[in-house]
């Protein structure tokens, strides 16, 4: 069953450039990337959009605090987002920036259209404004009479001349839309919240600001140059300007979007304001607006100001990008919050990925090599195993609906049921016994069945784990593409004859946490004028870095990464230090070399061994190097 149209338009939110990406951002992007890859796989002409949201007071201030020119600052942070997505192989078709010229023209065009329609009027606004959320709140919405209900920061009373959008006019049409289109907003619980909010009554929306300049000016025609467009109108319009709304270009054929994937914190803007703007522009509404939950650390939303962010690059580098993608999508049901933990990630790698998926491939490689010199034929699969094939195909047919309902955790769960059929078939039919009793044909049928089940899973896994899937596919002698999707999934076919190639195990077991946890400290409320990454010299000298000499080294039992060093810091006794450097240094080559040691670090236990300091090192894509003095220095000297 297809609930798809010929074209697919999939979007992420555009990211604010006042912060670097954390796993919350990576989550939204990876979900959208998986859906886009799925759409391409099933043969749809797909347009996948992401980008950065660069206007508004918040960004202007972030640049000012850092003493930076606003444009240069936004160029830098936007570039960092783009570089990360490129590094992650995110398959976007366009990376939009709200500072792009054609975007600005598109925003002005929309403003003018709505104005001419009579949906925009000028008045004065008095309200409680939260700079951080770029949002106004009524007195009753405030927490403790002054704080923003969304982010908790203090709001300020703003009185300014403003243009208003007649949001109230669209209340009934919005309610009708929610009622008629069951899946307009997903999940259902979130849709109920939106409907309840609209039912309370909508007030017209202030859509221009005069208190700052960093934004899109309203159309010249209105002869009111001090007004810039409210960032949310500016930002939401990216979904249209990215497909050439300003010149009504060919890509407008992608409209309406199939799905806008957003976090729950920005659902109101997408499920209320955005459709109302579109109604005003006489454009069709998106098919789905899908709101996911938050990734938390110890129950708190991740954010830089809370000092509890997890860097997605670090996680992907340590555990593998595809494993990380799998974890993000499998761990948390869409719409719910999830707490990030390395333990949970390791559990999924060692369990589902290594045991169920990786081992299955290893067994296929092993059996096909041992019994059939890697040359497989599916000739008798139907004869002996039609029931297993039917069962698997039935599961695979049910997957599409799950994708467009954003039930990606269920999608993966179902795929693993097919792997279970494969794994159980080996146990049940024992190909080695068949070989022993001379039933070579039956053994071939069994191994070919299992390889075909894995091939089908591999095709469907490609949107979530593209790299792993392409490795498995090439080991099974085929390629994942819309053609093989069509044959193996849509037409329930199997691979004809195929040659298996041996490859190294895909999911070596992870024995210990690979990232050193940064202590989660609540950030002190900071003074607005101070850049958040600047410390005083006194603060720096609180860290005592000393020169030490390694006098003895040994391996830490059962650890692939750790070495135990005895380091002389010129104190009474040498320090015992556990360091994660074994992959880069042999224990013996360190003896009698100098290192820099953080000497006043609170001792910690690593793999049950007390560690009394930290060795300084630097790591990049080329590996790890210890930081050492250029020439020999007296042991115990302080680094300054």
Q: Torsion-angle region of residue 309: left (phi > 0), alpha (psi -120 to 50) or beta?
A: beta
Give the helix ranges, DSSP H, for 430-506.
Answer: 431-436, 440-461, 466-475, 482-485
- How near is the Cβ of 637 to ligand MSP at its closest, in Å? 43
- Site for ligand MSP (CB under 6 A): which residue of 16, 95, 137, 254? 16
CA dihedral (80, 81, 83, 89) in degrees, to 10, reads: 160
Stretch that binds ligand MSP, among 38-46, 123-131, 259-267, 415-423 (CB under 6 A): 259-267
- How near is the Cβ of 516 to ligand MSP at its closest, in Å? 21
- How near is the Cβ of 129 to ligand MSP at its closest, in Å? 17
Contact between 240 and ligand MSP by CB under 6 A: the answer reads no
Are 532 and 399 in contact by the 8 Å Cβ rule? The answer is: no
- How near is the Cβ of 345 to ligand MSP at its closest, in Å? 16
DSSP string, 565-609: EEEE-SSSSPEEEEES-TTTS-HHHHTT-EEEEETTSPPEEETTE
The rounded distance, in Å, linking the Cα atoms of 347 and 342 is 8
Site size toward ligand MSP (CB under 6 A) is 20
- How near is the Cβ of 73 to ligand MSP at its closest, in Å? 15
Structure tokens at 85: 């997505």
Cα-based distances in Å from 114 to 165, 203, 233, 573: 8, 17, 12, 77
Are 453 and 422 in contact by the 8 Å Cβ rule? The answer is: yes
Stretch that binds ligand MSP, among 21-29, 280-288, 452-460, 618-626 (CB under 6 A): 21-29
CA-based radius of gyration for the chain: 29
The rounded distance, in Å, linking the Cα atoms of 309 and 292 is 18
- How near is the Cβ of 317 to ligand MSP at its closest, in Å? 20
**Chain Cα centroid distance, residue 483:** 28
- Site for ligand MSP (CB under 6 A): which residue of 295, 334, 411, 507? 295
Contact between 14 and ligand MSP by CB under 6 A: the answer reads yes
The rounded distance, in Å, linking the Cα atoms of 504 and 471 is 10
Contact between 186 and ligand MSP by CB under 6 A: the answer reads no
Contact between 454 and ligand MSP by CB under 6 A: the answer reads no
What is the largest distance, in Å, between two alpha-carbon atoms of the chain? Answer: 91
Q: Torsion-angle region of residue 134: left (phi > 0), alpha (psi -120 to 50) or beta?
A: left
Stretch that binds ligand MSP, among 33-41, 66-74, 169-177, 233-241 (CB under 6 A): 233-241
**Chain Cα centroid distance, residue 54:** 20
Contact between 277 and ligand MSP by CB under 6 A: the answer reads no
Among positions 334-393, residues that touch ligand MSP (CB under 6 A) are none
- How near is the Cβ of 410 to ligand MSP at its closest, in Å? 19
Stretch that binds ligand MSP, among 234-242, 562-570, 584-592, 629-637 (CB under 6 A): 234-242
- Site for ligand MSP (CB under 6 A): which residue of 8, 10, 24, 106? 24
- Site for ligand MSP (CB under 6 A): which residue of 137, 170, 177, 294? 294
Q: Which is nearer to ligand MSP, 189 or 508 (CB)?
A: 189
Q: Is 68 helix (H, G, I), strand (E, B) or coil?
A: coil
Contact between 13 and ligand MSP by CB under 6 A: the answer reads yes
Q: Which is nearer to ligand MSP, 23 or 174 (CB)?
A: 23
- Site for ligand MSP (CB under 6 A): which residue of 77, 262, 360, 550? 262
Burial status of residue 32 (CB atoms within 10 A of its CB: 0-12, 13-18, 19 or more) = buried
Contact between 148 and ligand MSP by CB under 6 A: the answer reads no
Among positions 579-638, residues that touch ligand MSP (CB under 6 A) are none
Burial status of residue 7 (CB atoms within 10 A of its CB: 0-12, 13-18, 19 or more) = middle
Q: Is 626 helix (H, G, I), strand (E, B) or coil?
A: strand
Please list, residue by residue across 500-516, b when 16 or more beta carbons sit within 10 angstroms of its beta carbon and e when fewer do: beeeeebbeebeeebee
Q: Is 297 helix (H, G, I), strand (E, B) or coil?
A: strand
Contact between 245 and ligand MSP by CB under 6 A: the answer reads no
| Residue whose C-beta lies closest to ligand MSP | 263
- How near is the Cβ of 15 to ligand MSP at its closest, in Å? 4
The structure tokens 């179902």 sit at 414
Please list, residue by residue across 172-184, b when 16 or more beta carbons sit within 10 angstroms of its beta carbon and e when fewer do: eebeebbeeeebb
Contact between 236 and ligand MSP by CB under 6 A: the answer reads yes
Hey, how many other C-beta atoms are within 10 angstroms of the C-beta on 197? Answer: 14
- How near is the Cβ of 127 to ligand MSP at its closest, in Å? 20
Hey, how many other C-beta atoms are within 10 angstroms of the C-beta on 360? Answer: 21
- How near is the Cβ of 508 to ligand MSP at its closest, in Å? 29
Contact between 266 and ligand MSP by CB under 6 A: the answer reads yes
Q: Which is nearer to ligand MSP, 15 or 115 (CB)?
A: 15
The rounded distance, in Å, linking the Cα atoms of 99 and 79 is 13
Q: Which is nearer to ligand MSP, 16 or 372 (CB)?
A: 16
Q: Which is nearer to ligand MSP, 17 or 357 (CB)?
A: 17
- How near is the Cβ of 352 to ligand MSP at its closest, in Å? 22
Contact between 27 and ligand MSP by CB under 6 A: the answer reads yes
The rounded distance, in Å, linking the Cα atoms of 505 and 454 is 15
Q: Which is nearer to ligand MSP, 238 or 407 (CB)?
A: 238
Contact between 306 and ligand MSP by CB under 6 A: the answer reads no
Contact between 235 and ligand MSP by CB under 6 A: the answer reads yes
Contact between 130 and ligand MSP by CB under 6 A: the answer reads no
- How near is the Cβ of 200 to ligand MSP at its closest, in Å? 23
Residues 44-73: x where in contact with ligand MSP by CB under 6 A, - otherwise, as a string = ---------x--------------------
The rounded distance, in Å, linking the Cα atoms of 220 and 224 is 7
- Site for ligand MSP (CB under 6 A): which residue of 28, 46, 108, 475? 28
- How near is the Cβ of 133 to ligand MSP at its closest, in Å? 9
Q: Is 627 helix (H, G, I), strand (E, B) or coil?
A: coil
Cα-based distances in Å from 574 to 189, 312, 571, 616: 60, 37, 7, 17
Could you tell me the strand order of the sheet in which 575-579 lies? 575-579, 563-568, 545-555, 594-598, 614-615
DSSP code at position 488: I
Stretch that binds ligand MSP, among 25-33, 362-370, 577-585, 593-601 (CB under 6 A): 25-33
- How near is the Cβ of 604 to ligand MSP at its closest, in Å? 27
Contact between 302 and ligand MSP by CB under 6 A: the answer reads yes
- How near is the Cβ of 292 to ligand MSP at its closest, in Å? 7
Contact between 257 and ligand MSP by CB under 6 A: the answer reads no
Contact between 263 and ligand MSP by CB under 6 A: the answer reads yes
Question: Could you list the residues that contact ligand MSP (CB under 6 A)?
Answer: 13-16, 24-25, 27-28, 53, 235-236, 238, 262-263, 265-266, 294-295, 301-302
């Amino acid at each position: 069953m297809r609930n798809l149209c010929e074209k697919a338009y999939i979007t992420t939110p555009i990211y604010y450039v006042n912060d670097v990406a954390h796993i919350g951002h990576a989550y939204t992007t990876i979900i959208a990337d998986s859906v886009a890859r799925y759409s391409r796989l099933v043969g749809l002409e797909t347009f996948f959009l992401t980008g950065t949201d660069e206007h508004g007071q918040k960004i202007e201030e972030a640049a000012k605090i850092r003493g930076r020119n606003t444009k240069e600052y936004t160029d830098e942070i936007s570039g960092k987002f783009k570089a990360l997505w490129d590094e992650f192989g995110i398959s976007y078709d366009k990376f939009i920036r709200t500072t792009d010229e054609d975007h600005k023209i598109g925003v002005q065009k929309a403003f003018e259209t709505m104005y001419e329609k009579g949906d925009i009027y000028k008045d004065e606004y008095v309200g409680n404004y939260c700079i951080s959320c770029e949002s106004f709140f009524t007195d009753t919405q405030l927490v403790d009479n002054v704080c923003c209900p969304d982010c908790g920061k203090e709001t300020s009373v703003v009185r300014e001349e403003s243009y208003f959008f007649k949001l109230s006019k669209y209340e009934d049409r919005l309610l009708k839309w929610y009622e008629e289109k069951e899946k307009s907003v997903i999940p259902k619980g979130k849709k109920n919240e939106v409907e309840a909010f609209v039912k309370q009554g909508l007030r017209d929306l202030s859509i221009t600001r005069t208190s700052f300049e960093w934004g899109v000016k309203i159309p010249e025609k209105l002869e009111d140059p001090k007004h810039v467009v409210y960032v949310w109108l500016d930002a939401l319009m990216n979904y249209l300007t990215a497909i050439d709304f300003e010149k009504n270009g060919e890509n407008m054929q992608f409209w309406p979007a199939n799905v806008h994937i957003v976090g729950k914190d920005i659902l109101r803007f997408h499920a209320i304001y955005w459709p109302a703007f579109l109604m005003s522009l006489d454009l069709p509404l998106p098919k789905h607006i899908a709101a996911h939950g938050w990734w938390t650390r110890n129950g708190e939303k991740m954010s830089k100001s809370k000092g509890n962010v997890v860097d997605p690059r670090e996680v992907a580098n340590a555990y593998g990008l595809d494993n990380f993608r799998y974890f993000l999508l499998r761990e948390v049901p869409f719409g719910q919050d999830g707490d990030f933990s390395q333990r949970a990630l390791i559990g999924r790698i060692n369990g589902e990925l290594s045991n169920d998926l990786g081992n299955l491939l290893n067994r296929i490689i092993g059996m096909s090599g041992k019994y059939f010199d890697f040359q497989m034929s599916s000739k008798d699969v139907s004869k002996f195993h039609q029931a297993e094939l039917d069962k698997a195909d039935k599961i695979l047919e049910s997957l599409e609906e799950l994708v467009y309902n954003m039930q990606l955790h269920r999608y993966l769960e179902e795929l693993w049921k097919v792997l279970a059929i494969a794994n159980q078939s080996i146990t049940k039919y024992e190909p080695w016994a068949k070989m022993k009793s001379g039933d070579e044909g039956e053994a071939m049928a069994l191994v070919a069945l299992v390889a075909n089940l894995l091939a089908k899973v591999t095709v469907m896994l490609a949107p979530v784990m593209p790299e792993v899937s392409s490795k498995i596919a090439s080991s099974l002698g085929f390629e994942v593409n819309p053609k093989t999707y069509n044959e193996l999934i849509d037409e329930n076919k199997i691979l004809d004859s195929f040659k298996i190639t041996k490859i190294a195990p895909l999911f070596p077991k992870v024995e210990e946490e690979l990232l050193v946890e940064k202590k989660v400290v609540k950030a002190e409320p900071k003074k607005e004028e101070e850049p958040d990454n600047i410390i005083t010299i006194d603060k720096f000298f609180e860290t005592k870095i000393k020169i030490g000499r390694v006098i003895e080294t040994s391996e830490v039992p059962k650890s692939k990464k750790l070495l135990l060093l005895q380091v002389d810091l010129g104190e009474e006794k040498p320090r015992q230090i556990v360091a994660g450097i074994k992959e880069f240094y042999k224990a013996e080559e360190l003896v009698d070399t100098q290192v820099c040691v953080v000497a006043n670090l609170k001792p910690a236990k690593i793999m049950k061994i007390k560690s009394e300091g930290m060795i300084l090192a630097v790591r990049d894509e080329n590996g790890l190097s210890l930081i050492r003095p250029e020439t020999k220095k007296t042991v115990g000297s302080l680094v300054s």
